[in-house]
Amino acid sequence: MKNSEPILLLALGLLLSSCLKDKTSQHFPTLEPARDTEAIFVLNQGNYGANNASLDYYNYTQRQFTKHFFTKSNENLGEILGDAATDMLIYGSHLYISLYGSHCVLVLRTQDASYTARISIPSPRHLTAHEGKVYVTSYIGPDRSTNGTKGAVYPIDTVTQTVGQSCKVGYQPEGITAYNGLLYVCNSGRARPPEFDSTVSVLVTNPLRLLYHIPVGKNIQQIAADQYGNLWVNALSSQGGKSAQPSHLFCLSVGKFGQYVPTRRENIPCDAFTIHSNRMYLYSTRGSAGQPEGNSFRVMNLETPNLNDAPFIKDGTEKAIVVPNGITVHPSNGDVYICDAKDSKGHGELYCYTADGVLKWKGDAGMRPLSVRFAPPRANRAKIPNLSH
């Protein structure tokens, strides 16, 4: 028995070592410090029903990338992140994560991802922040069979971390943005094909109530404002036989009655986009309607009437990206981050490009990486209230 003890201790040591290595990625580059950024959070969506969403973290001061950062930071609670992450937002000193399959929004301290609150919201989708509150779109229903129920927007008080009275919007609301004191919500109706919803709901916040709907287009997903006062909306492809339409873009501008109306439709395939300064970066995935051959990554100049739509990635590295699953721009240096879900069975990858479309670095991420957010230095967090866009 005594002779077996060294072997047993060696085996236990190797097991512990492998567990620790799993926490710290061996396939992530050492990054130079970034201006106005202390850390990067990477949200991994996981697979619906598998309860395997996760949060990764890169600390510029320590120059270390940590996998499963939430689990590591909350080992005393025995907590896992949850099921089917859909969005992430930094607001003040807290990080908010919506978990569709867990029917909650998780609130963490930005400093170390330590647990603050788990707020129950049915089937939450996307997040935005405005004047001390975080607003969450929700499908309302308990699962994907919600085609007969209109969704809602829920407000979270960021002082008490409690949820307030919700406001009904359209079917299966997705993207949300706060602009000029109002909330704009994309209603997709994605659970009702071919009868998709096609409206943007406009809400006031104090008190939270619906003002009106803007007719836009079927199966709309994201909404964001540019620096010229326009709102941009993408409509996802509607699969199904000869009537399938490719994904595309709408531009909404203020009409003669002071309300936003669609003024342009751009037939540029767009499954997801992000806006930084005068540029829009977007992608569409292979296999979707209008994009049968391969993924497409493009950049548009929003300052010019013809948009100067052009390929974004210039060095050929887009061929290595299998399933793009999210796109974000660093607010200070303009670097573009693209999440690659790969085969959705193992780890994904995170690609970082310059604003001119040249690869700077790439590194491992978790299962189906979805969203990247940038934590400012702690002294500046009160000065940068919303880092979601």
How would DSSP label each residue in 325-345? EEEEE-TTT--EEEEE-TTSS
Range of the domain at 164: 29-380
Asked if residue 72 belongs to a domain, the reply is yes
Count other C-beta atoms under 10 Å from residue 179's C-beta. 16
Q: What are phi and psi of 251, to 5 degrees?
A: -110, 125
Asked if residue 2 belongs to a domain, the reply is no
Asked if residue 267 belongs to a domain, the reply is yes
Q: What are phi and psi of 57, to 5 degrees?
A: -155, 135
Q: What is the mean pLDDT of the chain?
A: 87
pLDDT beyond 60 at 19: no
* Comparison of pLDDT for 61 and 52, the residue scoring more: 52
* End-to-end CA separation in angstroms for the chain: 61
Total domain count for the chain? Answer: 1
- Among 77-81, 115-119, 122-126, whose mean pLDDT is lowest? 77-81
Give residue-wise pLDDT tens across range 171-229.
Answer: 999 999 999 999 999 999 998 888 899 999 999 999 999 999 999 999 999 999 999 99
pLDDT beyond 80 at 268: yes
Q: Can you give the pLDDT at residue 291?
A: 57
CA–CA gap between residue 287 and residue 382 (Å, rounded) = 43
Asked if residue 6 belongs to a domain, the reply is no
Q: Tell me, what CATH number does 317's domain have?
A: 2.130.10.10
Asked if residue 351 belongs to a domain, the reply is yes
Beta bridge partners of 248: 235
Asked if residue 106 belongs to a domain, the reply is yes
Asked if residue 172 belongs to a domain, the reply is yes
Write the CB contacts of 264 (distance below 8 Å, at least 6 apart in sequence). 250, 251
3-state SS track over 110-172:
CCCCCEEEEEECCCEEEEEEECCEEEEEECCCCCCCCCCCEEEEEEEECCCCEECCCEEEEEC
Mean of pLDDT values over 261-279: 95
Decide if 205 contacts 183 (C-beta within 8 A): yes
Decide if 309 contacts 298 (C-beta within 8 A): yes
Write the CB contacts of 180 (distance below 8 Å, at least 6 apart in sequence). none
Mean of pLDDT values over 230-257: 84
10 Å CB burial of residue 320 (0-12, 13-18, 19+) is exposed
* Coil, helix or strand at residue 44: strand
The answer, as to whether pTM is greater than 0.75, is yes
Asked if residue 385 belongs to a domain, the reply is no
CA–CA gap between residue 284 and residue 130 (Å, rounded) = 30
CA–CA gap between residue 201 and residue 219 (Å, rounded) = 14
* Coil, helix or strand at residue 299: strand
Amino acid at 182: L
